[in-house]
Structure formats: structure tokens, C-alpha cells
Amino acid sequence: MSEKQHALIFELSEPGRVSYSLPDLDVPEQSIGELVPTNYVREEPPDLPEVSELQLMRHYTSLSNRNHGVDSGFYPLGSCTMKYNPKVHEDVARLPGFAHIHPYQPVSTVQGALELMYELQNSLAEITGMDEVTLQSAAGAQGEWTGLMLIRAFHEANGDFQRTKVIVPDSAHGTNPASATVAGFDAVTVKSNDRGLVDLDHLKEVVGNDTAALMLTNPNTLGLFEEEIVEMAKVVHEAGGKLYYDGANSNAILGITRPGDMGFDVVHLNLHKTFTTPHGGGGPGSGPVGVKEELARFLPVPTVVKEEGYYRFNRESERPDSIGRIKPYYGNFGINVRAYTYIRTMGAEGLRKVSENAVLNANYMMRRLAPYFDAPYEQHCKHEFVLSGRKQKKLGVRTLDIAKRLLDFGYHPPTIYFPLNVDECMMVEPTETETKETLDAFIDAMIQIAKEAEEEPETVQEAPHETVLGRLDETTAARKPVLRYQKS
């Protein structure tokens, strides 16, 4: 598509073309003006495109060719767990018995769906070491907010209204403090120490009788396991606070350790990360929330219960202390079908191997890349690791340049400039589904880029060279926003 501007579908439009087919109306037709008051009848039809079916397919096929997914090539985007999305999941989720069932059908007509949800609730509770799970949250961020609302309800039920603060590490994902805010808390930052772990002494300083919760990913966003987790849990619990586990990094811990055993009270999981449901270009995800027994009565309604072999939703009267509804219907069911299918594929042993191989791959890459980039932390990493580009920065090559240069090799770059506490950060997460050959090829590309930074920095600084477009002007995009197509 280098020859000319890639057309928008609106620019392909030609009046009179269609790409749909409906039968002729088989009931007597009345004018709309007779059915609704005339001032409610649309005057100008929405200007949607008018294209033929082949035009439509070519348009979207050509767009897909301008997009990089896991199936296109390596995608080591740290913290996002871009692992392989099994194809059989797509098949089963499209079975009519899952895809074409209505949320208000009588539960007697959807027992298969409820059984699946019930079994998935139980499996996720077992994997996380929690007592009860809700499948309602649509994504990780909604799971975080739900979990914090549960903690708030718990404290308030105890008459404890002064717990207004949620502690988050400086390395936390941006959703953590944002979720704290929208759940009505103030976010307080706890520092990391020079080993990349939460500074326990600082935690002791910031914790107090105003602490509602500590939010933590473990392993943390640097890919490092919080070794002092038991001590941290004790500090927070003794102060009357709760521990929240952000499951973004649970790909490192399946069958290895469980948040519930580490002392966490509330957990969310990102099924679109650890449990292989496709990222979809940005969603949909699913963010189930698990809790310990003492928080279960606050869970959003409804969850699935089983009674004498029959599945049903619990009634609101059975959960009088529920925080209420957080999402219509029953969560992203279609996504939950895929996660259930994955768990049934892997079983307990398979899931443990997932984490073992994810961690093996990450450590292998980190050790091989350490001579060329700064690896700021000594210890073994878990499923991901960070590198700093500060050595290259001195040569005038920024981490952004390295990322753009990787595009020329056909790779999606790592997450960059995050976490915020590492200068020129690159966060690499290979996942367990990649072969050693793929890891080696990526490592070779990174080594070549490190050499280019020394010998011919402009090759890196001016990258990418091979993509359909060069670097895009994001400043103008934000200053003079053009957010929709307008006919010229």
C-alpha cells in the first residue's frame, strides 16, 4: 500500500452499492410518520458507507495486513502476556449454544452455560487460593475497581469509615491508582528499594489506621517476586488493611504459588492475559474477582450456585450486603467460555508448566541480553524482565528508537517507558508459547541494534525503515484533533 494513501471505507462509497441482504418486508407497511410523532422521524439518514461485499472484504483484509498480531510474529509486550490464542477456543465460543443464547432465558434452558460458569468460578478460586469468585468484571481495570469496592464495603460494614487510603507501589500500572480514585479512595505511593522490590520500611511508614488496602502485583511490574510478601501482608493486616492482588502477572505463578496463600484477600485475574483469551486489538477482556470468605458477602450479584445438580443464580435476597451490580447480565460470557476451555486443555500439570516455561524463557532472554543493555536487577526474574536503555541513551539513541528499529525486524517491541521507576525502560515478556529459536532471533536483533547504536546510530534513530508508514506525528494529532472522517 506504499503507492498511495490507504482509503477509508467512506472514500470507497458509491451511492447505490449494498453489501447486505434482507427479505422484503412481509407485513403491511405504514409510513414512519404514522407510527411515531413526525418530529421524531429521521430527516437525514446516517451517512454510512455504500460498498459491495467484495469491496468490504478487500478493505478489511487490507487493513488486517497493516496490523501486527501474535499470529503475525513475536509480541513480547511486557505486562500484557501476548501468548498464543488457541483456535479451538474461537470455534467453541461460536457454538450456537453459547453464542446465541439470551441473558433473560429461563435458567432451566441454559444449564450448560451455568455449569460452565460454575466450574470456571471454582477453577479460578482453586488457582488463586480464594474462596469465591465472580466472573462479572469486563476487564482488569473493572476487576480492580470491583475488588476495591468490596474492600470498602468490608470496612464500612465494620463501621470503619476512616480507611480512605489505598497504597500502591511506584512501579504499579496506572490503572491501580486510577481504580483507587474511582472507588473513592486516595492513592498513596510506596517506594521501591534498589532491588526493585517494595521498600518494607517505607511501607511500615505509610501504613496506618487510614489504610484500606495495599494493591500489589506479584511478581511486580519489574518481573520480580516480592520476597517479603508474608511480612508485608502481616504489616498491612495488623494495621487493619486488606491486600489486593492485581493478577496482571499471574502467568508466572500458576500452580507455583497462590495469592490466597501469600495473604491476599482479594484478587483479580486478566483472562485475556494468563488464560489465552484473545486481546482483540484492545479488548474485550474479562477480569474475574476472587475473595476470601469474609469478603464474599459483598460480592456483586449474581454468582452461580449449584443445588442438587441444578444451577441457578443466587438471588439478591441471598446477598443483602452485595456492593450491587457492576455490569449488566453475567460478565463477558463469551470470553469466559474461552478461558474455561483453556483450563480444561491444560489441567493442573499443564498450567504449572506454563508458568515454568514462561519464567525460563524470560530468564534466558534476560541473561543473554544483559551484556548489551543494562539489566538493572541482579536476581532471577519471573515471567518478564526489564532492561534500561541508558547506555544507548548516552550514544543519542533512545528507547523509543530501539522500539521503532525492532519493527523493521518484524517484531512488536516490548513495553517501553514503563515502569516509571526505571530510566529508558524496556519491559520484555516472551511468554511460554514461543520457541527457543524465536527468542534467539529476537535476541540477535536486539544485539544488532545495540551495535548499530554504537556504530551507526542514525539507522536506529531514523527507524522504522520497513513499515507501511514512518513515525507518526502524535503532537499535531493531539493539538489539532481530527477524530472522524468528514467529506471534503
- Within 297-326, the residues that bind other proteins by CB under 8 A are 300, 323-326
Q: Name the one range near other proteins by CB under 8 A: 26-34, 238-246, 384-392, 448-456.
A: 26-34
Query: Total residues contacting other proteins (rule CB under 8 A)?
Result: 207
CA dihedral for 77, 83, 87, 89, sign (positive or negative): negative
With CA atoms as reference, report the closest residue to 332 among 287, 290, 279, 269: 287
Cell 548516552 -> residue = 394
Using rule CB under 8 A, residue 20 touches other proteins: yes
* Beta bridge pairs of residue 385: 428
**CA 354 → CA 73, 230, 265, 430, distances in Å?**
20, 25, 25, 12
Q: Which helix (H) or strand (E) holds 151?
A: helix 140-157
Of 83-122, which residues contact other proteins (CB under 8 A)?
Answer: 83-86, 88, 90-106, 109-113, 115-116, 119
Nearer to other proteins, 38 or 454 (CB): 38
Give min distance, CB of 388 to other proteins, in A: 19
Using rule CB under 8 A, residue 449 touches other proteins: no
- The binder of other proteins chosen from 317, 394, 472, 488 (CB under 8 A): 472
CB 185 within 8 A of CB 165: yes
Q: Which residues contact 428 (CB under 8 A, 6 or more apart)?
A: 76, 78, 362, 365, 366, 369, 384, 385, 386, 387, 414
Nearer to other proteins, 70 or 207 (CB): 70
Of 323-362, which residues contact other proteins (CB under 8 A)?
Answer: 323-335, 337, 341, 343-354, 356-357, 359-361
CA gap 448, 86 in Å, rounded? 32
- Helix orientation angle between 175-182 and 140-157, rounded to the nearest 10 degrees: 40
Q: Which residues contact 298 (CB under 8 A, 6 or more apart)?
A: 149, 150, 153, 154, 157, 291, 321, 322, 323
Q: How far is CA 373 from the centre of its chain?
A: 27
Give min distance, CB of 203 to other proteins, in A: 17
Q: Name the one range near other proteins by CB under 8 A: 205-213, 237-245, 251-259, 447-455.
A: 251-259
Using rule CB under 8 A, residue 212 touches other proteins: no
Nearer to other proteins, 202 or 228 (CB): 228
Q: Name the one range near other proteins by CB under 8 A: 198-206, 291-299, 434-442, 447-455.
A: 434-442
Q: Name the one range near other proteins by CB under 8 A: 202-210, 237-245, 447-455, 474-482.
A: 474-482
Of 168-207, which residues contact other proteins (CB under 8 A)?
Answer: 173-175, 177-184, 186-187
Window 41-80: contact mask with other proteins (x via CB under 8 A): xxx-xxxxxxx-x--xx-xxxxxxxxxxxxxx--x-x--x
Using rule CB under 8 A, residue 258 touches other proteins: yes
Q: Name the one range near other proteins by CB under 8 A: 200-208, 254-262, 289-297, 421-429.
A: 254-262
- The binder of other proteins chosen from 78, 190, 221, 225 (CB under 8 A): 225
Which cell is 125 given?
Answer: 478460586
Which cell is 292 given?
Answer: 476470601
Q: Name the one range near other proteins by CB under 8 A: 281-289, 290-298, 385-393, 446-454.
A: 281-289
Give min distance, CB of 452 to other proteins, in A: 18
Nearer to other proteins, 126 or 210 (CB): 126
Q: Which residues contact 68 (CB under 8 A, 6 or more apart)?
A: 75, 412
* Beta bridge pairs of residue 214: 167, 243
Give min distance, CB of 262 to other proteins, in A: 5
Using rule CB under 8 A, residue 484 touches other proteins: yes
Angle at 85 between CA 245 and CA 358, to 5 degrees: 55
CA gap 199, 235 in Å, rounded? 12
Of 363-422, which residues contact other proteins (CB under 8 A)?
Answer: 363-364, 367-368, 379-380, 382, 403-404, 407, 412-413, 415, 418
